[in-house]
């Protein structure tokens, strides 16, 4: 007698099957841009749900390998990527995943073009988005640096579509003193008698160590402590003969997830490096990189949510329990709907940020928009990362025990997602960054006007409570900031996370409301409306004016 075996979940073309992506692009993009990029999205969607997804499953058990010595006793520190990553690198270069925003074929829409492709590519390539994010961040940092020599040397490689010419870049910031308080960095920079700079120190978490170049921070001798005393340096990892640039790979990290990413501990022993601009203000000077990698983080987070939901939805049609497919069970459908509403909000929030980055690249941000962009980058990263972990965790539960079994490929989704709230600034570090962005500028009134203008688009009465919730949550956040400021800095700091996440969820809801009205009017589709109503019910307003963060007594001992 044959025993039962469950049909596994499958993916189809990840572009054609994505109602959210297609509907967003139809609203946001001019027709000529849509027509120009659609064939690329179709192709990437087919790859991501077909051959690349199959390759990913076959590559599941592989990991990068560090070989420290060759057979003859020479130190080589060679890191071999897995086959999936080798293919991902070729594909990323050929499809222009870094080149697109620098070629700027579609002007200010080039970032939407790039990140729509990245959103499809990322969940089938096991966090190859990590080296790509750093590469994009380095390209942008060099582009705005004014350092002609470095731009001419590195940019043609970073933005190449030819895999033989393509370089990736590392972002070597974290030291054993910590990843958040970068000003504590201990790496020293010394100038040779012949004027060349050499770096000495230990970098503790250098992702994708195989990159051909890196941007890093080091303290020129005699400089003060703190972030201002650091300088931003450019280095190439190998010399023209292929030898390592006076650095050694001590070991690869043993991580919870992102296991395809060869994250290393490095010792710099006189590594030749070039100052990018100036010999101080390193934290400030590397911030263009952070703002790009935080955008990649947000796109990656929504792409993982999308992948988890795509698998869970397909499975719901196949898995029969208690007499019917899960897709016919009201509670299961309700659970999936809640996940989808979170994804809809996170997606619109992320691509709103992507649009702003595109306008920033094109020099089109006006008036208070640069302040708003500065505020939104940490808020969107923090909000979407938290949503991603929650949604992917819920998706695993949709598979019951199978979601906990490694060779389904599902647990890896959760382990990889858990990095999104941690790297590129933890939720708390980014919440404090958002407070600094608000304090230094007109960002908060600009944010309020943005929310107001978005919900003002809503005419359908079914959107009125969601619109009201968005406006109300913003008002509460604003009142909290005034009241907390009057109470003192401890009160402000204690509530920073609730403040930042309230802003993130508020803008997500307001963007959903705008899209829902458009979709009702032009597509005759009520699914975005359903997402707005559901997301509003999940809780948007996480803070009240009297939130003093006074619960620290809860932690008293005894
Ligand atoms: C899948 C995609 C993801 C790919 C990931 C790739 C893997 C990479 C792995 C990693 O490297 S993870 C490590 C990433 N590290 C971080 O994200 C650092 C987290 N910590 C912070 O962000 C802290 O807030 C910070 C280090 C910035 C605090 O340091 P400081 O020295 O206290 O900075 P401060 O005083 O806040 O800012 C110094 C200057 O920089 C200020 O300018 P002024 O000197 O003119 O006043 C700030 O305004 C400016 N600044 C800081 N952050 C900025 C910024 N300017 C613009 N944008 C920002 N984000």
Cβ–Cβ under 8 Å, residues 443 and 507? no
The predicted structure's pLDDT at residue 549: 73
State yes or no: pLDDT of 541 exceeds 70.
yes
Beta strands in 276-377 (DSSP E): 320-321, 324-325
State yes or no: pLDDT of 413 exceeds 90.
yes
Q: Quote the ligand 1 centre to 440 CA distance (angstroms).
A: 15
State yes or no: pLDDT of 385 exceeds 90.
yes
208 — pLDDT class (breaks 50, 70, 90): confident
552 — pLDDT class (breaks 50, 70, 90): confident
- CA-CA distances (angstroms) from residue 498 to 156, 451, 530, 539, 545? 43, 18, 25, 12, 11
Mean pLDDT of 246-260: 96
Indicate the range of 111-115, 178-182, 335-339, 546-550 predicted with least confidence: 546-550
User: Tens of pLDDT along 268-309?
Assistant: 999 999 999 999 999 999 999 999 999 999 999 999 999 999
Q: Which atom of ligand 1 is nearest to the CA of 377?
A: 59
The verdict on the CB of residue 168 being under 6 Å from ligand 1 is no
The predicted structure's pLDDT at residue 5: 93
The predicted structure's pLDDT at residue 261: 96
The predicted structure's pLDDT at residue 454: 98
The DSSP code for 175 is: B
Entry pTM: 0.97
State yes or no: pLDDT of 550 exceeds 80.
no
Mean pLDDT of 179-187: 93
Cβ–Cβ under 8 Å, residues 373 and 356? yes
Please report, rounded to a whole number, the percentage of residues in the chain having pLDDT higher than 90.
96
554 — pLDDT class (breaks 50, 70, 90): confident
State yes or no: pLDDT of 202 exceeds 70.
yes
User: Tens of pLDDT along 28-50?
Assistant: 999 999 999 999 999 999 999 99
N-term to C-term CA, the chain: 62
The verdict on the CB of residue 130 being under 6 Å from ligand 1 is yes
What Rg, from alpha-carbon coordinates, does the chain have? 24
Higher pLDDT, 319 or 1: 319
356 — pLDDT class (breaks 50, 70, 90): very high
Mean pLDDT of 440-464: 96
The verdict on the CB of residue 206 being under 6 Å from ligand 1 is no
16 — pLDDT class (breaks 50, 70, 90): very high
The predicted structure's pLDDT at residue 518: 98
90 — pLDDT class (breaks 50, 70, 90): very high
The verdict on the CB of residue 425 being under 6 Å from ligand 1 is yes
What mean pLDDT, rounded, does the chain reach? 96
Two tokens, residue 142: 């060099």
State yes or no: pLDDT of 422 exceeds 90.
yes
The predicted structure's pLDDT at residue 558: 67
Q: 32 CB contacts (<8 Å, ≥6 apart)?
A: none
Q: Quote the ligand 1 centre to 97 CA distance (angstroms).
A: 24
The predicted structure's pLDDT at residue 2: 86
By C-alpha distance, which of 266, 259, 262 is closest to 235? 266
Question: For residues 132 and 168, what is the distance between their CA atoms, to the nearest angstrom?
Answer: 7
Ligand 1, pocket-test mutation among 97, 129, 182, most atoms within 8 A of CB: 182
The count of residues in the chain is: 558
Q: Quote the ligand 1 centre to 283 CA distance (angstroms).
A: 6
Question: For residues 228 and 398, what is the distance between their CA atoms, to the nearest angstrom?
Answer: 49
User: Tens of pLDDT along 393-406?
Assistant: 999 999 999 999 99
Q: Which atom of ligand 1 is nearest to the CA of 432?
A: 24
Cβ–Cβ under 8 Å, residues 304 and 123? yes
């Amino acid at each position: 007698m044959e025993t039962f075996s469950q049909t596994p979940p499958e993916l189809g073309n990840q572009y054609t099957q994505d109602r959210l992506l297609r509907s967003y692009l139809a609203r946001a993009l001019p027709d000529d841009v849509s027509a120009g990029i659609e064939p690329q999205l179709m192709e990437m969607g087919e790859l991501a749900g077909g051959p690349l997804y199959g390759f990913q499953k076959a590559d599941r058990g592989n990991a990068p390998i560090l070989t420290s010595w060759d057979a003859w006793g020479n130190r080589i520190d060679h890191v071999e990527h897995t086959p999936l990553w080798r293919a991902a690198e070729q594909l990323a270069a050929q499809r222009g995943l870094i080149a697109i925003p620098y070629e700027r074929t579609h002007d200010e829409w080039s970032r939407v073009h790039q990140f729509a492709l990245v959103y499809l590519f990322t969940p089938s390539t096991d966090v190859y988005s990590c080296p790509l994010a750093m590469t994009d961040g380095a390209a942008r940092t060099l582009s705005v640096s004014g350092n002609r020599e470095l731009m001419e040397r590195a940019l043609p490689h970073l933005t190449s579509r030819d895999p033989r010419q393509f370089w990736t870049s590392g972002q070597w910031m974290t030291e054993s003193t910590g990843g958040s308080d970068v000003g504590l960095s201990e790496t020293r920079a010394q100038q040779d008698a012949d004027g060349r700079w050499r770096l000495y120190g230990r970098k503790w978490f250098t992702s994708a160590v195989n990159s051909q170049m890196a941007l890093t921070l080091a303290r020129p001798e005699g400089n003060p402590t703190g972030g201002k005393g650091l300088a931003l340096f450019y280095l190439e990892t190998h010399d023209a003969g292929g030898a390592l640039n006076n650095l050694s790979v001590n070991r690869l990290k043993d991580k919870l997830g992102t296991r395809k990413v060869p994250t290393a501990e490095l010792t710099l022993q006189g590594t030749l490096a070039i100052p990018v601009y100036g010999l101080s203000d390193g934290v400030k000077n590397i911030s263009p990189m952070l703002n790009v990698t935080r955008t990649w983080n947000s796109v990656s987070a929504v792409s993982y949510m999308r992948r988890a939901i795509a698998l869970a939805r397909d499975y719901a049609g196949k898995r029969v329990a208690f007499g019917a497919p899960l897709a016919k069970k009201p509670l299961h459908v309700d659970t999936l709907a809640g996940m989808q509403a979170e994804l809809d909000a996170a997606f619109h929030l992320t691509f709103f940020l992507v649009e702003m980055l595109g306008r920033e690249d094109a020099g089109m941000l006006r008036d208070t928009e640069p302040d708003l962009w500065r505020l939104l980058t940490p808020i969107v990263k923090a909000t979407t990362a938290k949503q991603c972990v929650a949604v992917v965790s819920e998706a695993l539960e949709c598979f019951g025990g199978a979601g906990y079994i490694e060779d389904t490929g599902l647990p890896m989704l959760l382990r990889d997602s858990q990095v999104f709230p941690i790297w590129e600034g933890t939720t708390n570090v980014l919440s404090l960054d958002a407070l600094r962005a608000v304090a230094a500028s007109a960002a908060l009134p600009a944010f309020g006007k943005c929310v107001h203008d978005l919900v003002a688009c809503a005419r359908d009465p079914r959107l009125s409570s969601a619109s009201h919730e968005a406006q109300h949550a913003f008002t509460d956040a604003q009142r909290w900031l005034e009241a907390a400021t009057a109470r003192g800095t401890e009160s402000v700091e204690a509530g920073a996370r609730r403040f930042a996440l309230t802003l993130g969820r508020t803008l997500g809801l307001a963007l959903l409301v705008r899209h829902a009205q458009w979709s009702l009017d032009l597509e005759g589709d009520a699914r975005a409306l359903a997402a707005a109503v559901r997301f509003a019910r999940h809780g948007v307003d996480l803070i009240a004016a009297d939130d003093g963060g006074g619960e620290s007594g809860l932690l008293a001992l005894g």
